[in-house]
Amino acid sequence: MQYAPLGRTGLQVSRLCLGTMNFGPQTSEADSFTIMDAALAQGINFFDTANVYGLFTAATVTPELHPGYTEEIIGRWWAQGGRRDRVVLATKVYGNMGPGVNERGLSAYHIRKACEDSLRRLQTDHIDLYQMHHIERTTPWEEIWQAMEQLVREGKVLYVGSSNFAGWDIATAQSAAAARHFMGLVSEQSLYNLAARTIELEVIPACRHYGVGLIPWSPLAGGLLGGALRKATEGRRASTHQQQRIERDRSKLEAYETLCQELGEEPGDVALAWLLHNPVVTAPIVGPRTMEQLTGNLRALEISLTAETLKRLDEIWPGPGGEAPNAYAW
């Protein structure tokens, strides 16, 4: 396994982050335990979850599925002993956790309660990386940072990250944190893959400038980059939405999968290797539903992409043209 600092911190995390969104709704608790055991055995020490996972990702509602269910599964895995101190644990706050008007968002009230609830479900006394799941512009940064600072002082949170922030949100957050002599954000979790490159305009430059580590989610574009043409009837690729995407991008997918075949590599591994090539990227989030998917992802760490291959990937999956404003102005 390869490791890298989380942003500008001294914390070393694995170059692949284990995403747990499928645990519960898509993957049984027993299989989730097996996947976490295997990930740890392979050297993956970075696990990502969120307080809303459980019902948030469920195709159908059943009595056991509810927001927080995935955290509960992880908590029961911790309870077996001998694991917690070997994992950098990341979870999130923002989503709707109940019917109350204050059971969502980034108010100090909700941040405090959501953190306490996550700690209880996870059966741990601290969260290594507490991420704001989305920007909320109705709550002032003074309130957000005051709440986060209190959690850090109490030892319940070590580092703070963001998710789905714009570049200017990162800049605003860091400016407010600096004024309070607080470290602020150490990571940003964004949608980023070969087929979704919008963040190259401003988010990636902001991350680089502020020393914020980038944690891409959906690195395979929901399976589109994982061999969609060859596996068009499997898993999420069989959904109507994904079939429409496959048809829309068929020419690109044909060129992409041909290139991967020439390289002798699986399409999903090439997509992950492309992300890992970017020095701003700390660790893409892989969300395996099965053991086979987990072990397959590890191959990406061994792939070195040549300048010619990177050029061909840019031709197949063009980005926004560079960084702003040069991408659209002189």
Q: What gap in Å lies between CA 297 and CA 206, rounded to an integer? A: 28
Catalytically annotated residues: 53
Q: What gap in Å lies between CA 85 and CA 75, rounded to an integer? A: 13
Q: What is the largest CA-CA distance in the chain?
A: 59
Q: Which amino acid is at 251?
A: S
Closest of 4, 131, 137, 23 to residue 76, by C-alpha:
23
Q: What gap in Å lies between CA 107 and CA 120, rounded to an integer? A: 20
Structure tokens at 60: 């159908």
Sign of CA dihedral 10, 13, 15, 21: negative
- At 16 the three-state DSSP class reads coil
Q: What gap in Å lies between CA 199 and CA 219, rounded to an integer? A: 13
- At 5 the three-state DSSP class reads strand
- Beta-carbon contacts of 63 under 8 Å, excluding residues fewer than 6 positions away, are none
Q: Would you say 39 and 18 are in contact if contact means Cβ atoms under 8 Å apart?
A: yes
Reported as type and span, the H/E element at residue 303 is none
- Whether the bond between 325 and the residue before it is cis, its omega within 30 degrees of 0, is yes
Q: Which amino acid is at 14?
A: S
